[in-house]
Structure 1
Amino acid sequence: MGADVTIRAAGVDEVAAVLAFWERAAEGVSISDDPAGVTRLVERDPGALLVAERDGVLVGTVIAGFDGWRCHLYRLAVAPEARRQGVGTALLAAAEERFAALGGRRADAMVLRRNVTAHRAWEAGGYGPQEAWVRWVKPLR
């Protein structure tokens, strides 16, 4: 795959490493960013958490969730030292391939409003805001 990285699905045994990576490379954490939440994701949908590795080192992640109807992208994160090298593009391409294989027809992405750098990356991948929708959120805990 491009960017000299290998993209593959993460296993349960990698949850701690992924959480540590998000602490370093992602824009904040959410209520479900804990070992139990990420383990539940990987067990329920083993192909959803995609990781990018370069020379055996974790350099990126994306969650490519499919609920049988819609495709959802979360947690696109690239290590600061690996940004602008095609890692995010490679992760999105792998996610989109996964969605196509599952029969998905449209993907949406969760992107923090304040993360302007990420907005540019998503737009470069062909994604854009859909102003007709407002996302309403309620933590369930």
Structure 2
Amino acid sequence: MTDLLVRPAVADDLDAVLAFWKTAAEGTSISDDRDGVERLVARDPEALLLAEREGELVGTVIAGFDGWRCHLYRLAVHPDHRRRGIGSALLTAADERFVRLGGRRGDAMVLVRNERAQHAWRAAGYEPQEQWRRWVKHLTD
């Protein structure tokens, strides 16, 4: 996995990210537009993490921290690059970011019908919290 680069997105990446989500993400959201993603990057320049292999965008995750809790969104890996550790590398980078910021618990909203994603989150150490329909991982004891 030495050829994989995980880095924060910059403004020049945003059009590529939006196009990528149409291919790699399960569904879209009302905030999946240029204005929404620009606001995210302007507010927290390190929140949108990109995985690149040989200059090609192959994965994303949004690792947002509100000062109290850590929230994960838009974990997506290009269909041609799945099952190669990219999602795990993104989640590791997100976890490291959260710990640096003082976060103690990460959570992720995962579509109930998205069984592939549920498997990935479980493999990364997150556990479903059925009463909240979210997945949670404690980052520190």
TM-score by length of 2: 0.92
Letter in 2 for 1:124: A
Q: Detail structure 1 runs of 4+ shifted over 4 Å in the superposition.
A: none
Separation of aligned partners in 2, 1:4 and 1:82: 13
Separation of aligned partners in 2, 1:97 and 1:130: 22
Separation of aligned partners in 2, 1:13 and 1:41: 14
Does residue 71 of structure 1 match 2:59?
Answer: no
Separation of aligned partners in 1, 2:2 and 2:78: 13
Separation of aligned partners in 2, 1:60 and 1:120: 17
Offset of residue 13 of structure 1 = 1.4
- Structure 1's unaligned 5+ residue stretches are 136-141
Letter in 2 for 1:68: G
Does residue 102 of structure 1 match 2:101?
Answer: yes
Offset of residue 25 of structure 1 = 0.5
Separation of aligned partners in 2, 1:120 and 1:4: 25
Q: 1:3 to 1:86 in 2, by over 3 A?
A: farther
Letter in 2 for 1:93: T
Separation of aligned partners in 2, 1:133 and 1:121: 19
Aligned to 1:127: 126
Larger % of strand: which? 2
Offset of residue 23 of structure 1 = 0.3
Aligned to 2:139: none
RCO higher in structure (CA 8 A, sep ≥6):
1
SS in 2 for 1:91: helix
- Structure 2's unaligned 5+ residue stretches are 135-141
Separation of aligned partners in 2, 1:106 and 1:27: 24
Q: What is the root-mean-square deviation of aligned Cα atoms in Å?
A: 1.2
Deviations 1:105-141, CA, capped at 9 Å, x for gaps = 0000111111001100110001111123257xxxxxx
Aligned to 2:9: 10
TM-score by length of 1: 0.92
Offset of residue 7 of structure 1 = 0.2
